[in-house]
Chain A
Amino acid sequence: MTPTAVDVLVVGGGATGAAAAYDLARRGVRVLLVEQSDLSTGTSGRYHGLLHSGGRYAVGDPGTAAECITENRILRHIAPFAIEDTGGLFVATPDDPADHPARWVDACRAAGIDIDALTPAQARAQEPALTPHITAAYRVPDAACDSFDLVHGFVEAMRALCAHSTLCGDLLAYHRVIRLVTNDNSVVGAEVENVRTGDRQVIHAACVLNAAGPWAGMVAGLSGITVKVKLDRGTMVAMNTRWVNTIINRLRPADDGDIIVPVGTVAVLGTTSVTTNRPGDHHVENWEVSKILGEADAVIPGIRQGRALRAWAGVRPLYEPPDIDHGDTSGHGVQRRFAVIDHRVRDQLGGLVTVVGGKLTTCRLMAEEAVNVVCDQLGVDTPCTTAAEPLPLPAFRQQYHRLDHRLRKLEHGQLPGQLICECELVTRPQIEAAIAGYGDHPVALDDLRRDLRLGMGPCQSGFCSVRAAGILHEVKEHSNLKVTRALKDFVDERFRGVKPLLWGHQLRQLYLDELIYRRTLGLDRLIAPTPEERLDS
Chain B
Amino acid sequence: MTDHDQPVYDLSGHTPLIEQAPLARQAAFSADHCLKCNICTAACPVAAVTPLFPGPKTVGPQAQRLREPGQPSPDHAVDYCSSCGICTLVCPHGVKVMEINTQAKARIVERDGLSLRNWFLSRNELWGRLGTPFAPLLNFGVRSRLLRLLAEKLFKVSARGPLPGWAGYTFRGWWQREQKQHPRPAQHDDSQRVVFFHGCSTNTYEPFIGKLAVAVLEHIGLHVEIPPQTCCGLPAQSNGDFDAARCYARHNIEALADYARRGIPIVGTSASCMTAIKGDYRHVLGLDDDDAQLVAVHTYDFMEFLWKLHQEGRLPTGFQPIEREYPYHAPCQLKAHGFGRPVLDVLSLIPGLKAWEIDADCCGIAGTYGYKAEKRAIAELVGWPLAEQVHAAGAGTVICDTETCRWQITALTGANTIHPVELVAAAYGLTITDKAYTPPVGE
Contact = CB atoms under 8 A, between A and B. Distances in A.
Contact of A458 (B34, B68, B69): B34
B74 A408 contact: yes
A443 interface: no
Given A241-B32, A404-B73, A265 B23 contact: no
Contacts of B19: 128
Given A302-B24, A423-B62, A462-B36, A407 B31 contact: no
B35 interface: yes
A404 B62 contact: no
A329 interface: no
A422 B36 contact: yes
A512 B73 contact: no
Given A265-B65, A403-B66, A508 B32 contact: no
B36 A425 contact: no
A509 B65 CA distance: 17
B22 A301 contact: yes
B36 A407 contact: no
* Max count, chain A CB within 10 A of own CB: residue among B29, B36, B58, B64: B36
A265 B66 contact: yes
Contacts of B71: 404
Contacts of A423: 36, 62, 65
A307 B58 CA distance: 19
Contacts of A417: none
Interface residues of A, number: 36
Contacts of A410: 75
* Max count, chain A CB within 10 A of own CB: residue among B32, B63, B73: B32
Interface in B1-39: 19-20, 22-24, 28-29, 31-37
A403 B36 contact: no
Interface in A346-371: none
B286 to A, nearest CB: 12
A512 B33 contact: no
A240 B24 contact: no
B395 interface: no
B32 A404 contact: no
Contacts of A457: 65
B59 to A, nearest CB: 10
B24 A306 contact: yes
Nearest to B21: A128
A129 interface: yes
A174 B20 CA distance: 50
A411 interface: yes
B219 interface: no
A301 B93 CA distance: 22
15 contacts: A128-B23, A129-B23, A241-B28, A301-B22, A403-B66, A403-B67, A404-B71, A404-B74, A411-B76, A412-B74, A419-B58, A423-B65, A458-B35, A458-B36, A458-B65
Closest 6 CB pairs between A and B?
A307-B32, A302-B24, A408-B74, A407-B66, A459-B36, A265-B65
Interface of B: 19-20, 22-24, 28-29, 31-37, 57-58, 62-71, 73-77, 93
